[in-house]
Structure 1
Amino acid sequence: MQIYNMHDAKTNLSRLIEETVNGGEPFVIAKSGKPLVKVVRIDAEPEKPLRRIGFMKGQMKVPADFDTMGADEISSMFEDAK
């Protein structure tokens, strides 16, 4: 996504909007390097939110004894600490 500073956006606003309306990418207008607004077509499809839950599905396997793994070692550490 292209970022334009306020001065460039004012100078080229008609062209930038025309490009966006005719299937171009949305663009951002910034002031002093800080993004202020995003210009998109009114009938543009909304961006899908980034889905984080389940992003590693099928890439890892949790052992069936996960809840009890290392229980003997952990117990011995606490028993030895007394």
Structure 2
Amino acid sequence: MLTINMHDAKSQLSRLVESLESGAQDVIVIARNGKAAAKLVPIGEPDVSRRIGGGLALLGQFPSVSLEEWNALDADVASLFENGTESDHS
């Protein structure tokens, strides 16, 4: 929980809201004259898609692929880039 004074909250409102949306902060308390006056909280679930590793939260664990399986795709990927014969590249 972050506590910030009123003046700083006014000048940094966008940054404070971003920290709530990203999940970096779950509650931000705004103080006036050193006393808590208001509380900022996110409306919904934090957007974990913008976090490092957020893909795991959205998609779940990815299946593991062996090196041989990964390398077996090389020919398919190369054919996507070649798109025809060598004469097409001149």
Q: TM-score scaled to structure 2, two decimals? A: 0.46
May I ask how many residue pairs the two structures share in their alignment?
45
CA-based RMSD of the aligned residues comes to 1.6
In 1, the alpha carbon distance for the partners of 2:41 and 2:24 equals 9
1:22 match: 22
What is the percentage of aligned positions where both structures have the same residue? 48
1:38 match: 39
In 2, the alpha carbon distance for the partners of 1:8 and 1:34 equals 14
What are the ranges of 5 or more consecutive residues in structure 1 without an aligned counterpart? 45-82
- 5 Å-filtered alignment, 1:1-80, equals 1-25=1-25, 26-44=27-45
In 2, the alpha carbon distance for the partners of 1:18 and 1:2 equals 13
* Structure with max Cα Rg: 1
Q: TM-score scaled to structure 1, two decimals? A: 0.50
In 2, the alpha carbon distance for the partners of 1:16 and 1:33 equals 19
The structure richer in helix per residue is 2
